[in-house]
Amino acid sequence: MQMLQGDFFFIRSIQKEAASAKMMLELKASHAIFAGHFPGQPIVPGACLLQMVKEIMETALDKKLQLIKAHQLKFMSPIDPNKSKELQAVFTFNTTENGEVNVAATFMHEGVVCFKCNGVFTIYDSNKIPY
């Protein structure tokens, strides 16, 4: 189940290759999240950016994923949905021998990098407890 895609953000276009994907995203500036983060000066929360990475990778791979590690999170520029309604997302990824998916994600607005991160995902298995 997608939590943010289709409500908080929308994938407007996607170009997928074997180990990469480029997307144009649109943020919903009127979403309720922005009423509290922050009133009068909305900014996309970091937790939402991580969830967006997960959901975008699920779309690109057509598999349910579970984040097991996020590292090198870099918030380069705040994302104000009123000023940066459209974002470009660039992802590179590979699957290891043990089935983990390594992801490098970058979100940009008009060529300016807003957010970068690396993450490790595993294929979601509802019968397995991850820890």
Tens of pLDDT along the chain (131 residues)? 569 999 999 999 999 999 999 999 999 999 999 999 998 999 999 999 999 999 999 999 999 999 999 999 999 999 999 999 999 999 999 999 999 999 999 999 999 999 999 999 998 877 766 55
Domain assignment present for 2:
no
- Is 97 inside any structural domain? yes
- Whether 129 is covered by a domain: the verdict is no
Residue-level length of the chain: 131
The whole-number pLDDT of residue 124 equals 83
Q: Which of 70, 77, 7 is nearest to 43 (CA)?
A: 77
- Is 3 part of any domain? no
Domain count, the chain: 1
pLDDT for residue 6: 96
Which residues 6+ apart lie within 8 Å of 82 measured at CB?
29, 42
Domain that holds residue 68: 9-123
pLDDT at 48: 96
- Here the CATH number for the domain that contains residue 107 is 3.10.129.10
Q: Cα(125)–Cα(37) distance, rounded to whole angstroms?
A: 33
pLDDT at residue number 125: 76
Structure tokens at 19: 């180990």
